[in-house]
Amino acid sequence: MRFFACGLVLACAFTGTAHAGHDPARQVLPAGDGWASAGPGTTGGSAATTVHEVRTRAELIAALAAPAPRIIKVRGVIDANTAPDGTPLRCTDYATGGYSLEGYLAAYDPATWGWQREPEGPLEEARKASAKKQEATIALNVGDDTTVIGVGEGAGINGGSLRIHGSRNVIVRNLTFRDTHDCFPRWDPTDTSPGASPGNWNSLYDSISIQRSEHVWVDRSTFTDAPNPDSRQPLHFGRPYQVHDGQLDITNGADLVTVSRNRFEEHGKTMLIGSSNTSTTDPGKLRVSVHHNVFRNVLERAPRVRFGQVHVYNNLYEGAQSYSWGVGVHSRIFAQNNYVKGIAAEKVVYNWGGTAITDRGNLLNGRPHSFVHAHNAANPDKQLATDAGWTPTLDRGLEPAHRIRHLKAGA
């Protein structure tokens, strides 16, 4: 017997038993499947007696605040940029304190402001206040012992930032994350990318942000900027007006994470593991497995790693990229049995201050290739050793790279 309950704001929920073998919402991470399976493993909200089915932002917010353990099933597409009553919100609805993009551009034009100082003053304060209003709406906070799963074709979240901050035992599956855009990017004339013109526009929100959390499994989801790709953004001050940050970032001491069978596409800053070169919280943490994902036409960070002990295996990389595996300070990447096609060999690895990367069993267009050797040949002043100093053991389902050529992944 099942008992149903519906409130005015809460989604319909039911109590009763479900068979773990038949309901994906009750599936747990299999033993041996990456770092998130270490120790007690990752079970999410599988023990929940109440299942929340949500179709709107208000229902999702209420379900996330319900007692744990919790299973939250997302049906259809939830637009995070909506008011509590369901009214759609545009960027102009968040603007406050006299902020306008036109005014901001006029105030901080390098022709008058210069290139040596970061923005400050009334327009910068108005931008910060406007950004806080948007953040209060689109930030979706996920607590302990939670499973958030899409049900039915096309289920997902538009414009939202799912935040797994300070939480344990979380599962996110079968969702499409679209266009997590920042309405109020910050101009920094002092932030210069190697080989690029001076200055950068920096945005704030990740589609999924994992911080200070452990035992997290992100599986079979799709991450895309469509229908608002970076290619449609204008240039301001000679630099791309970047409204997107990371698609899935794992930082600030997060640990024991498995990222599997997702699709990342048409994006710039894709996956960052590690907070900063001087972090005091990341050392000894950031144990992450990234496997059976498709990275298609992403520019960089697939992933970029600082400090982390990261197993990158059985992923498919397609399309032009600036780099895929970013070897940052104190990072220990073990890249194994990946399939790369349509990318120049020297563009796969880049040294961001690291010392070594293990590169084993990988294929380039169907042929064995050492990407670290290609990097070293192209960058004689940034040499990397070929042994990251560890051997993964939690690699359930490891396959030869040739089987990954036609990998299907995503929601």
- Residue 298 tokens, joined: 């992403």
Buried b (16+ CB within 10 A) or exposed e, 217-228: bbbbbbbbbeeb
Strands 50-54 and 146-158: unpaired
Q: Name the CA dihedral angle for 183, 189, 193, 198, rounded to a multiple of 10 degrees.
A: 120
301 is catalytic: yes
> Structure tokens of 16?
């009763």
Dihedral sign computed on CA atoms, order 42, 212, 124, 198: negative
Q: Out of 301, 304, 306, 332, which one is annotated catalytic?
A: 301
- What is the enclosing helix (H) or strand (E) of 325? strand 325-328
> CA-CA distances (angstroms) from residue 161 to 54, 198, 205, 333, 386?
17, 29, 6, 27, 36
> Are residues 341 and 319 in contact, defined by beta-carbon separation less than 8 angstroms?
no
Report the distance separating Cα 240 and Cα 202, nearest Å. Answer: 10
Measured from the Cβ of residue 195, the count of other Cβ atoms closer than 10 Å reads: 6
- Answer whether 178's CB lies under 8 Å from 225's CB: yes
- 233: Cα within 13 Å, side-chain hemisphere: 24
Residue among 73, 119, 122 nearest 96 (CA)? 122
Which residue do the tokens 């970076």 mark?
Answer: 230
Taking alpha carbons only, the member of 338, 329, 284, 330 closest to residue 311 is 338
Residue with tokens 């007006």: 241
Q: Which two tokens stand for residue 142?
A: 């996920």
| Cβ neighbour number for residue 149 with a 10 Å cutoff | 25
Mapped onto helix, strand or coil, the DSSP state of residue 70 is strand
Yes or no: say if 60 and 66 are a contact pair by the CB < 8 Å rule.
no
Measure the CA–CA gap between 261 and 315, rounded to whole angstroms: 8
Nearest CA among 140, 172, 186, 187 for reference residue 159: 140
Give the residue numbers marked as catalytic: 301
